[in-house]
Amino acid sequence: MPEVFKMPKYPCAFCKKREATQLCDFVIGYSWTTMKNEKGRMIGGQHQTCNNEMCKECATNYAGFEFCPSCVQLYKLIQEKHDRRPNKFFSDVAFGKYEPGEEQQ
């Protein structure tokens, strides 16, 4: 007798075979709010994530974050095409040589 395939309640958005157990953690936007939480502390910065539903097999782990297959492609494209230029400002700030408000020469 053939085995009956049961559709998952929440199918993976990519393979459509397995149960979606997690959401994509790829950051797609940032926002800032001045709202306060129930303890009266400022909430401040927040980030929005992709949140594609996926199964464990379709997810790719990058430093503890789970990315969906489409965000993995985007991440690889960013790593490949990103034009990182050396700059003196960053190193001056990092090593304490820059003082805000000082005149540039």
Query: Tens digit of pLDDT for each residue in 36-74?
Result: 888 888 888 888 999 999 999 999 998 999 999 999 999
Contact between 67 and 22 (Cβ < 8 Å): no
Which residue shows structure tokens 């709010």?
Answer: 33
pTM: 0.66
User: What is the C-alpha to C-alpha distance for residues 95 and 45, in angstroms, rounded to an integer?
Assistant: 26
Has residue 13 got a pLDDT over 80?
yes
